[in-house]
Amino acid sequence: MEEICDYLASLQQEKNSLLTEMEHFAKTHHIPIMESSSLNMMIQFLRIQQPKRILEIGTAIGYSALRMADALPNVHIVTIEREAVRCRQAHDYISRAHGAKNRITIIEGDALEVFAQVEAFGHFDAIFIDAAKGQYRRFFELYTPLLQDNGCVYTDNVLYKGLVAKENIENRRASGFVKKIKAYNQWLMDHPAFITEILPVGDGVAVSLKKA
C-alpha cells in the first residue's frame, strides 16, 4: 500500500513554494494536516461540485483552506479555529498567498460557540469537518442546518489509523476515540437526511450528501 501511495504522489504536480513550506512546518512542529491522498480526493470532489461557499471546522495553520482556495478560484471559505496561535499562523500564511486573503475568513473560537458568527455568512454548499474527533456529531448537528440541499459534508479521520476495524484496543485513550468515531460513522450511515459513503483513502473520509 505504501508503494502505491508513493506512486500516486509521484504523479501529482509540484505544489507552490508556500504550500511546500507549510507542509514542512506542519511536519516539523507535529501539527496535524489532512493527508495528501485524502485531501486530493476531496478537492477533486469539490471541483466536480463547484461550491460557492465552504465551511471548514478546524483551520490549524490554514493548509487545507489554501489548497481548496487554490483549486476553486470562485469559492469563499469560512474556517473556524479555537487555538489563538494557530489562528495567527493561518493568518500569516493566508496573507502571503496570492489572491487568497479576501476569499478565506478565519473565525477564532470554539466551533460549538461561534455559530452566530458563522450563520451571518448564510448557507454553505460544503462543510469540511477536521477538528476534535470526539465532537464530530455535535459539529455535524450544529452546522448542517446551514448546508444547502444537495450539499456535501466531508469528515476526515473516520477510520482513525485503521483502529475502527479492530475489536480490542489496549490503549484506553485510543479506545475511547475509536468508540466515538465508530458511533459517529454508524450514526452517519443511518441518518435519514443524508446519503453517506466512507472512502478508505488517507485516514478515511466520510462523504455525506444532503438529500433535496
Residue type, 93: Y
95/85 Cα distance (integer angstroms): 15
108 in a known ligand binding site: no
131 in a known ligand binding site: no
126 in a known ligand binding site: no
157 in a known ligand binding site: yes
What are the grid coordinates assigned to 83, written together?
487555538
111 in a known ligand binding site: yes
Q: Cα separations (Å) of 118 from 8, 40, 58, 102, 197?
A: 36, 26, 13, 16, 27
Q: Cα separations (Å) of 41 from 62, 85, 109?
A: 18, 29, 28
92 in a known ligand binding site: no
Residue type, 101: K
168 in a known ligand binding site: no
102 in a known ligand binding site: no
Specify binding-site residues for S-adenosyl-L-methionine.
34, 64, 81, 110-111, 130
Binding residues: 34, 64, 81, 110-111, 130, 156-157
Q: Which residues are known binding-site members for Mg(2+)? A: 130, 156-157
